A and B are shown apart, each in its own frame.
Chain A
Amino acid sequence: MKITGPKTLALTAITFLAMGGCSSAPRMEVHTDARSEAKDAFPSKPGHQVLPITLSNSHGAQSSLQVHRFDFENGLRLLVIEDHTSPTFAYQTWFRVGSRNEVPTRTGLAHLFEHMMFKATKNFKEGEFDRILEEEGAMGLNAFTSQDYTAYVQELPKDSLETLVKLESDRMVNLVVDEAAFKTEREVVQNERRFRTENSPDGTLNQELYELAFSKHPYHWPVIGYKEDLENMSYTDASNFYRRYYKPASATIIISGDVDPNQTYEMIKKYYGGLQNQTVAETSGPVEDLTLIRETPPKSPQRKTLKLNLQNEKILVSYPGPDIRSEDLPALNFISGILSAGKSSRLEKALVDSGLAQGVYASPPDAADPGIFVIGASLQRGKKATHLEGVLLAELERLKKEPISKREMEKVKNLMQFDFYEALNSNSERCRYLGEFESITRDFRFGMDLFRRTMEVTPEQVQLAAQKYFDPSTRTILVGVPK
């Protein structure tokens, strides 16, 4: 497929208008209005659309940020944010592939393949990618894999953009999956697994929780994979995985920094525009899409205790939750804030201040497919998880029964507002923020909309979500105790 220009060239402007001075924290308002098009809001190509999303409050505006979106004919998407505060830029390539796209017996392939992406290509021998970029002055040259996505990230001085685009576009389709390199990297990953899971009580518990909470869906297995599966994996598996999932149509490039959006678009078009989507070797056969599987919530509570090499007990509690697109997600986000955001949060007071735990967190589901709401705590020395469990569950029951006060709602909103701004406070952080939503929902604006809806959550919605999701019969409890 030869690409000479964007098929549907959409240009999106996101404007963040922030607070002015005031004596008390104002309520944040987020307006999404796709109907009001402002085609000439900034220099653009003919046919560009402008879909303004505005964050504002009653105290006026202070800053703005615009995201330029370009869609190419081969399916590649480009997001560009101009920020001239330093002569640098962040460049991230997000692929919509993660461990959810794996199959049993080949768990860990997405992550192992992420390692392989730094190997030789048809045009550059092994080590050249790193060497060239490091010599250009690259910062944070790295990659990461999750259940839903894989991302390749770096920051560079502004005049290194073309060098990077050339290298990144090359490895998207020209990687050489070599057997010797694969075997060495597989051993590196085995060692990473020993580090993250096998010799880490937290890693072991986390793996076990997902194994208990999911019986059929790929979220069941760890992103890093199982030891035996990694041992049995071949470079042919990696090669097929590459051809199946690494292609322009699966990727979004996100650039933030000292760049010109239109010039960047032309450069991306030059190097990526002609890339064709790879096809899978016929011999590899079809792959069953396990992501279509929906878990049946457990009919009775699950509980497991693991004896681990740790000093203080740990507990993880989870409940089945929705996927990220659910209308209930804003309320669940808000609940996580009520439970664990800030030192005056409910669980911090009930578990840490009371002397039971050293630390506690509550994490809402944030995945492409239905996930889990997780609450975790590390206990203080000599304290029992079984005791903490009772206190924790009582707090969840309280959420179901008692409406949240206006003051507590405002407090949680302020804390979430702070987190939102922090997530947009540097080139690499804002690329990451956009990349996660772009990869999971195919539209980074979902993140802004989710934030807006979270800011609009009512006490009634909190109560209803708690009643709906904190169902004792679907609960999974995992306890780690010293050996």
Chain B
Amino acid sequence: MKKINSLFALCFLAYSLNAMSMEVSFEEDHSVPLVYVSVSIKSGVVADPAKKLGLTNFLGDMMVRGTKTKTKEQIDLALDQMGAQLNAIIGTEVLTFRGSVLKSQLEPFLKLFGEILTSPSFPEKEIKKLKAETISAISEELSHDAGLASRRFARFLFGSHPYGNPLIGVEKHVDSFTTNDLLSHYRSVMQPERILVLGTGDSQKATLEAWAESLTPRLLDNAKHGAPLPLSAPPIPVANNKGLRVLLVDKPDRTQAQIFIGQFGLKMNEPRYFPLYAANHAFGGGSFQSTLMREVRVKRGWSYGANSAFRFGLQPRSWHVYLFPASKDAPQAAKLALDLVRDLHDKGVTEADFESSKKSLINGSGFNYNTAKKRTENRMTEKNLGLPEGFFRSYASELQKVSLDAANSAMRSFVDPDNLAIVVLGTASSLKEPLAKALDISPRQIAVVPYQQE
């Protein structure tokens, strides 16, 4: 058995805390003359105020639309002139600015990037424009079935918990954002202890350290004036998620259905993470050999893809099965997927599937960290999810310890086939009755909502 993780030479991901507790990591990579700089801020969707869903995403976008000395037009032009990119990316528990630039332009790039982080101006004109763009993007999501179904699944599973909130917000809230909302949220979010600076590429760590040091004094004022924000999502309420709950998102003229079946998940730092990770890989973790792919795609040709996956957060998020069969096959495919989840709980994965998955995961674990970019991303995830340093390098050794019994025992205690949330996006007029029949439930147990309804 090969273990490429053990073959990796030492890499040079150096990290340190600067004076005001902003962590800086950098790994040199001189293969091409590019430098990547990311600034991640613990916040994300969970930091959105209750009546201001989408505010953190909006804040990130607005920060690159004007500073105290530069307009959006000047920022855009300057970045393009440098051959650089800078984007704010919203996540559930983190807001990340991802920058990349030609090495020769790193100095002016960092100067501009620093100004964007420390001196945004939130001009009214740009707020108005971004509102129109964001509201259009919200309606555009309705045209993409897979994304829409995924979003509805999160809402259906988590209800009013922040994990169920859409990343870019809802129209009514976005339309209400003001300059004051942004200023206030900026002060709360942009505090040094929330910020992690990571980089890789054709430069040195000292350059990034010096830059981070220069930002800190300018951000300290936020620490004095910003309202406190939680650093993680609240615990998940579980009381209402009992029984088989089915939501049919009704969209006309569909010849294909999107099906999500799932439940609450787990945290990556739980002891049962690796047993569950191995068992899930055998069941539906993206492999063509997995139970789901074999049963749904290879044997029956019902869906181009069929997989099961976890979503992780500071709180347990979700585990779900996803498939997208033709409408005509959707009821039977949903039933098959549900039966397979029950089998996973009752019987577990087979020894052959488990051993094959285990080999695959261990031998491929080096791909978790075989590039400088991946290693810096890992560092970011470790910090943001509270994982121990080197977590992603530990996969091979941790998986090596997992036995079939441990994997199946973990899955038996984790999967709850009697209390699942099922979301099907399709055309209700032709799907509802057959779906109810296939799942052996009354049609009244299937809630139907129009796809445009939030």
Which chain A residues have a beta carbon within 8 Å of chain B's beta carbons?
16, 18-26, 59, 62-63, 83, 85-88, 118, 126-127, 130-131, 134-139, 141, 155, 157-160, 183-192, 194-195, 198-202, 309-312, 341-345, 348-349, 352-353, 355, 358, 378-381, 407, 410-411, 414-415, 417-418, 421-422, 424-426
Which chain B residues have a beta carbon within 8 Å of chain A's beta carbons?
2, 4, 7-8, 29-34, 72-73, 76-77, 79-85, 100-105, 107-108, 129, 132-133, 135-137, 139-140, 142-146, 202, 251-256, 287-289, 294, 297-304, 324-326, 356, 359-360, 362-367, 370-371
B259 to chain A, nearest CB (A): 13
> Told that A23-B107, A88-B4, A137-B4 touch, could you supply 4 new A-B pairs with CB distance under 8 A?
A24-B104, A134-B364, A422-B100, A425-B34
Asked whether A87 lies within 8 Å of B33 as measured between CB atoms, the reply is no
CA distance in complex: A190, B254 (Å): 14
Q: Across the interface, which residues of A come within 8 angstroms of B84, CB to CB? A: 418
Q: Across the interface, which residues of B come within 8 angstroms of A26, CB to CB? A: 104
Closest to A348 in B: B76
Q: Across the interface, which residues of B come within 8 angstroms of A345, CB to CB? A: 80
Asked whether A86 lies within 8 Å of B325 as measured between CB atoms, the reply is no
Q: Across the interface, which residues of B come within 8 angstroms of A194, CB to CB? A: 255-256, 326
Asked whether B363 lies within 8 Å of A358 as measured between CB atoms, the reply is no
Asked whether A138 lies within 8 Å of B364 as measured between CB atoms, the reply is yes
Q: Across the interface, which residues of B come within 8 angstroms of A199, CB to CB? A: 145, 254-256
Q: Out of B77, B82, B102, B288, name the residue touching A134 (CB < 8 Å).
A: B288
Asked whether A86 lies within 8 Å of B289 as measured between CB atoms, the reply is no
Q: Out of B73, B256, B294, name the residue touching A344 (CB < 8 Å).
A: B73
Known A19-B102, A418-B84; contact A344-B33, beta-carbon cutoff 8 A: no
A184 to chain B, nearest CB (A): 4
CA distance in complex: A130, B293 (Å): 12
Chain A contact residues, majority secondary structure: mixed
Asked whether B2 lies within 8 Å of A134 as measured between CB atoms, the reply is no
Known A86-B8, A137-B363; contact A191-B325, beta-carbon cutoff 8 A: yes
Asked whether A414 lies within 8 Å of B256 as measured between CB atoms, the reply is no
Q: Out of B301, B362, B367, B370, name the residue touching A184 (CB < 8 Å).
A: B301
Asked whether B362 lies within 8 Å of A59 as measured between CB atoms, the reply is no
Q: Across the interface, which residues of B come within 8 angstroms of A343, CB to CB? A: 76, 79-80
Known A191-B324, A309-B251; contact A137-B360, beta-carbon cutoff 8 A: yes
Closest to A407 in B: B81
CA distance in complex: A349, B60 (Å): 20
Asked whether A63 lies within 8 Å of B80 as measured between CB atoms, the reply is no
Q: Across the interface, which residues of A come within 8 angstroms of B30, CB to CB? A: 62-63
Q: Across the interface, which residues of A come within 8 angstroms of B33, CB to CB? A: 18-19, 62-63, 421
Asked whether B2 lies within 8 Å of A160 as measured between CB atoms, the reply is yes
A-B residue pairs in contact (CB < 8 Å), sample of 15: A25-B105, A83-B31, A85-B29, A118-B288, A127-B294, A130-B289, A134-B287, A134-B364, A135-B360, A199-B256, A344-B79, A381-B135, A410-B81, A422-B34, A424-B32
Q: Across the interface, which residues of A come within 8 angstroms of B104, CB to CB? A: 19-26, 59
A194 to chain B, nearest CB (A): 4
Asked whether B363 lies within 8 Å of A18 as measured between CB atoms, the reply is no
A284 to chain B, nearest CB (A): 26
Asked whether B364 lies within 8 Å of A137 as measured between CB atoms, the reply is yes
Closest to A131 in B: B289
